[in-house]
Amino acid sequence: MPRQGLILSRFLVLIPLGVGLLAAQSKPQASSTEPYYPPARQWERRAPALVDMTPELVDSAIAFAKSMESTAPRDLLAEHWASPFGREPLPEPMGPFKDRGEMTGIIVRHGYLVAEWGEPERVDLTFSITKSFLSSTVGLAWDRKLIPDLHARVKDYVKTGEFDSEHNAKIAWEHLLRQTSDWEGTLWGKPDWSDRPPADVPIEQYRKRVHAEPGTTYKYNDVRVNLLAYAALMVWRRPLPDVLKQYLMDPIGASNTWVWHGYDNSWVKIGGKRMQSVSGGAHSGGGMWINARDLARFGLLTLRHGRWKDRQILSDAWIVQALTPTKPEPTYGFMNFFLNSPGADGQRPWPDATPKTFCHIGHGTNAVCVIPEYDLVVVARWIQDDALDGFLQRVIAASKNQIGRRPAAGPA
CATH of the domain at 369: 3.40.710.10
- What pLDDT score was predicted for residue 405? 42
CA distance 130 to 389: 21
Hey, CA dihedral for 161, 221, 372, 120, is it positive or negative?
negative
- What pLDDT score was predicted for residue 408? 39
Strand 366-371 versus strand 376-381 pairing type: antiparallel
Mean pLDDT lowest for which of 59-63, 192-196, 265-269, 404-408? Answer: 404-408
pTM recorded for the entire structure: 0.90
- What pLDDT score was predicted for residue 102? 98
Element spanning 8, H or E: helix 3-26
Tell me the pLDDT tens digit for each residue of 319-368.
999 999 999 999 999 999 999 999 989 999 999 999 999 999 999 999 99
Q: Is residue 409 part of a domain?
A: no
What is the average pLDDT across 60-79? 97
In sequence order, what E strands does 199-324 have?
259-270, 273-278, 287-290, 307-308, 311-312
Per-residue pLDDT at 73 exceeds 90: yes
Helices (H), 166-306: 173-178, 203-207, 222-236, 240-244, 292-303
Cβ atoms within 10 Å, residue 286: 27
What is the average pLDDT across 106-127? 98
Angle between helices 388-397 and 55-67 (to 10 degrees): 170
- What pLDDT score was predicted for residue 26? 34
Alpha-carbon distances, residue 246 vs 16, 249, 303 (angstroms): 47, 7, 21
What mean pLDDT, rounded, does the chain reach? 91
Please tell me the number of Cα atoms within 13 Å of 273 on its side-chain side: 9
Per-residue pLDDT at 173 exceeds 70: yes
Buried b (16+ CB within 10 A) or exposed e, 39-59: eeeebeebebeebebeeebbe
Q: Is residue 123 part of a domain?
A: yes
Helices (H), 127-192: 130-143, 173-178
Q: Is residue 58 part of a domain?
A: yes
CA distance 162 to 155: 8
Q: What percent of the chain has pLDDT over 70?
A: 90
Provide the pLDDT confidence category of residue 187 given band limits of 50, 70 and 90. very high
Q: Is residue 228 part of a domain?
A: no
Q: Is residue 294 part of a domain?
A: yes
CA distance 380 to 116: 10
> Total domain count for the chain?
1
Tell me the pLDDT tens digit for each residue of 123-132.
999 999 999 9
Provide the pLDDT confidence category of residue 32 given band limits of 50, 70 and 90. low
Provide the pLDDT confidence category of residue 24 given band limits of 50, 70 and 90. very low
Residues near 287 by Cβ (< 8 Å), separated by ≥ 6? 95, 125, 126, 127, 128, 130, 260, 261, 278, 279, 280, 281
- What pLDDT score was predicted for residue 15? 36
Q: Is residue 277 part of a domain?
A: yes
- What pLDDT score was predicted for residue 10? 39
Q: Is residue 326 part of a domain?
A: yes
- What pLDDT score was predicted for residue 404? 55
Domain that holds residue 137: 48-155+237-397
Q: What percent of the chain has pLDDT over 90?
A: 87
Q: Is residue 121 part of a domain?
A: yes
- What pLDDT score was predicted for residue 406? 40
Angle between helices 130-143 and 292-303 (to 10 degrees): 40
Tell me the chain's radius of gyration from C-alpha atoms.
25
